[in-house]
Amino acid sequence: MIQRVNGSLAVSRALGDYEYKNVEGRGPCEQLVSPEPEVFVKDRDEENDEFLVLACDGVWDVMTNEDLCDFVRSRLAITDDLEAITNQVIDTCLYKGSRDNMSIVLVTFPAAPLPSAEAIQRENELESTIERRITELLNQAQGDNNPAPPLEFSQVLHTLSEDDIVGLPPGGGLSAKRHFIEDVYKKLCPNLADSEAEHN
């Protein structure tokens, strides 16, 4: 997670943000926000370096370095489509509550994980478990003698968040499967899903 200057600015910028650079008698690099870059050199470890992530503060607001690395590593074991993985990162951060701009660049190195049949099978089993649980919740809410309307999506999501679901993506948790949960809900409750979309 990142720290913000005065609870607002999350990065040092060379241009703009003049309210952070107006202390008289201080040089540009002595102000609250400095344009002086912090540069360091790290030697590559070709046998162990897996990937490089460059992301803006909208991502780091809701994910730690460890969370993001764990999440990306788990996704690389499922697909080699880097665009799909970066889209999943941004979606997950959005569902985790990030409200800032978000962008990400992912560069893989030769030691990066490759898709494996075992990881793909685990992901498929996870999605099957989630779909069965959603179906169960909707069936319980609409029993033969229960006049109650189907559960709203927010209720389904809340219940799933309280379940101890095994195998959720590390670093992403339930937020990483939010898009899948929405798709299942729309399939099982198309009318209610459309109604909720109209009100949102």
Rounded to 5°, angle at Cα 44 from 169 and 70: 5
Tokens of 111: 């030691």
Q: Is the pLDDT of residue 34 over 60?
A: yes
Round to whole Å and give the CA distance between 106 and 86. 7
pLDDT score recorded for residue 197: 47
Residue 54 pLDDT: 96
Total number of residues shown for the chain: 200
pLDDT of residue 128: 98
Cα distance between residue 10 and residue 190, in whole Å: 41
Instruction: Report pLDDT for 12.
Output: 59
pLDDT at residue 9, rounded to an integer: 64
Residue 5 three-state SS: strand
DSSP per-residue string spanning 26-71 = --GGGSSS------------TTT--EEEEE-HHHHTT--HHHHHHH
Q: Which of 42, 160, 3, 174 is nearest to 97 (CA)?
A: 174
Domain architecture of the chain: domains with CATH: 51-108 (no CATH), 117-199 (1.10.10.430)
pLDDT band at 30 (very low <50, low <70, confident <90, very high): confident
| pLDDT tens-digit series, residues 47-94 | 999 999 999 989 999 999 999 999 999 999 999 999 999 999 999 999
